[in-house]
Structure 1
Amino acid sequence: MTKVELYKSRLFVTIIHLCALGQFAYGLYYSHFEIQRSYKLKTTASRRLVPDSLPQKVKFLSYWCLIIQALYYIVSLVNDFVGTNELAPKRPPAIRQFKDWLMATLAFPVALNVGVTFWALYAIDRELVFPKVLDAVFPSWLNHILHTNIVVFIVLELFTSYRAYPKRSKGLTGLTIFMGSYLVWIHIVKHYSGVWVYPVLEVLQLPQRIVFFVAVIGFTLVLYLVGEFLNNTVWAKEVKLAKRKSN
């Protein structure tokens, strides 16, 4: 099958969206209810580290990313049935416009940020992001849903569904506001709890933390541009063909 044939197959695209939403929704359910019920049976050290309640979970970008992914695939499924997956619709419905904006501005760059940053730090020293003590209460499959599958499915989405990127200034502004808000949030958490959300921040001095935060935001903005470039490159021929047919 060519990309165009895959794109035109509503069943194929819908199955991908269902599979993605199913695992991300279950990941949200399990991380909230199952871990909350079982973590008390484990060691004191793991009880301190595992995020067993919603207020604890929303401290982590991985959890926000999982919510974004679940929301994106909900919107995608709605668009599959009541919107349109045409490459260049003359009047795209609101659900399609929101889907495209959400993918471009948040779903793609945040997913790659979380996946790449987590596994890079994990490779350097896993204690900085995922201490071994968590293995007793945090299953490996859930860890992969949070940090691996989000990347796999969003990259797959890039190759099977075209989206019209918003004006670059608007997309980058939206992403910057989101990432900036999260950095403000983790500083609020640090102020009231006295503990950094991520262990890696505990070992960095103030100048190093500033460089780290700037690098994270800069890296995320670059990922937005990477997504835009890949989208335009992968679908260039199909978009031109669709526009010719519509004229």
Structure 2
Amino acid sequence: MTQIDYNKSDDHYVHNVMKKFKWRYFTGWNFTVQIIYFMTCVTEDIMRLMKHTSVPNDWIRRVKDFIFTSLFFPGTLFVTLMFWIVYLIDRKLVCPVAVEVVVPSWINHSIHTVIIVVLVIEMRITRHRYSKRSLGLAALAIYLTAYDILFFNAFITDGAWIYPLYQVLNWFYRMLLLVTSTTTIFGFYILGECLSDKLVGYQLQRINEKINSY
């Protein structure tokens, strides 16, 4: 995001929306969550090595699992599916051709396609403990509310819709899309809770079979 050269394009959307509000795209927020999760995993591994044990401190495991279950899984699944569904219907509504001038296709795939592959691998090799559903959904709700505030603030202050899709919709369908998207993300949280144990490899499940939900 910091290395994108917006001067390669003279497109209005690229300069007046994408460049100005580059930190308000949900894809960027999701990618940031993934980076934080990765750093948490590395911290856990370092703590294990320093203490010469295969059993991590409970608090770091709780933090890692909470980030993954509450934000990582539902956010990543939503970003991938939402982007490519809209892209296949009409790419101008989510990724106009002018965007590819400043954002190469390999970057686009790294933040919209590869992330789902990483998600599946992570769920396959790591058994994540879910906290109380009310707590996980509350954290997700706070996360989405903070994002929505900044999203609508861009329109209120500059009259700009971050996503081209919102530009072609009237207010009724904008609100309907917002409600549907929010409901879908909450649904993905519950889906992750249901799939958590089922996707873990058999041998790994035997090793971690004594780990219970907290």
Q: Same fold (TM over 0.5)?
A: yes
Displacement after TM superposition at 1:47 (Å):
4.3
Asked if the contact 1:83/1:96 (under 8 Å) is kept, the reply is no
The question of 1:48 aligning with 2:15 is answered yes
Asked if the contact 1:50/1:134 (under 8 Å) is kept, the reply is no
- Tell me the C-alpha RMSD between the 2 structures: 2.3
The question of 1:63 aligning with 2:28 is answered yes
Displacement after TM superposition at 1:242 (Å):
3.1
Deviation string, structure 1 residues 128-185 (Cα, Å, up to 9, x no partner): 0100111211100110111111111012100111111111110011111211221122
The question of 1:231 aligning with 2:201 is answered no
- 2:66 is matched by which residue type in structure 1? W
Asked if the contact 1:186/1:197 (under 8 Å) is kept, the reply is yes
Task: Give 3-state SS (helix, strand or coil) of 2:210's partner.
Answer: helix
The match for 2:6 is 39
Identical amino acids, percent of aligned pairs? 29
Displacement after TM superposition at 1:93 (Å):
2.5
- 1:150 is matched by which residue type in structure 2? I
Task: Give 3-state SS (helix, strand or coil) of 1:243's partner.
Answer: coil
**CA distance in structure 1 between the aligned counterparts of 2:41 and 2:207, rounded to whole angstroms:** 23
The question of 1:120 aligning with 2:90 is answered no
Asked if the contact 1:83/1:93 (under 8 Å) is kept, the reply is no
Asked if the contact 1:72/1:99 (under 8 Å) is kept, the reply is yes
- In structure 2, the CA distance between the partners of 1:49 and 1:146, relative to structure 1 (3 Å rule), is farther
**CA distance in structure 1 between the aligned counterparts of 2:208 and 2:23, rounded to whole angstroms:** 44
The match for 1:80 is 45
Asked if the contact 2:21/2:162 (under 8 Å) is kept, the reply is no
- In structure 2, the CA distance between the partners of 1:146 and 1:180, relative to structure 1 (3 Å rule), is same
Asked if the contact 1:46/1:137 (under 8 Å) is kept, the reply is no
The match for 1:204 is 169
Q: Which runs of 5+ in 2 are unaligned?
A: 50-54
The match for 2:111 is 146
The match for 1:107 is 72
**CA distance in structure 2 between the aligned counterparts of 1:46 and 1:208, rounded to whole angstroms:** 22
The question of 1:194 aligning with 2:159 is answered yes
**CA distance in structure 2 between the aligned counterparts of 1:165 and 1:99, rounded to whole angstroms:** 11
- 1:59 is matched by which residue type in structure 2? R
- 2:93 is matched by which residue type in structure 1? L
The match for 1:6 is none
Asked if the contact 2:8/2:102 (under 8 Å) is kept, the reply is no
The match for 1:215 is 180
Displacement after TM superposition at 1:83 (Å):
4.7
The question of 1:176 aligning with 2:141 is answered yes
- In structure 2, the CA distance between the partners of 1:156 and 1:70, relative to structure 1 (3 Å rule), is same
- 1:61 is matched by which residue type in structure 2? F
Q: Tell me whether 97-106 or 179-188 shows the greater mean CA deviation.
A: 179-188
- 1:43 is matched by which residue type in structure 2? D
Asked if the contact 1:162/1:235 (under 8 Å) is kept, the reply is yes
- 1:154 is matched by which residue type in structure 2? L
Q: Which runs of 5+ in 1 are unaligned?
A: 1-30
Larger relative contact order (Cα-Cα within 8 Å, sequence gap ≥ 6): 2
Displacement after TM superposition at 1:81 (Å):
2.5
Displacement after TM superposition at 1:50 (Å):
7.2
Higher share of residues assigned helix: 1
Asked if the contact 1:104/1:171 (under 8 Å) is kept, the reply is yes
Displacement after TM superposition at 1:195 (Å):
1.1
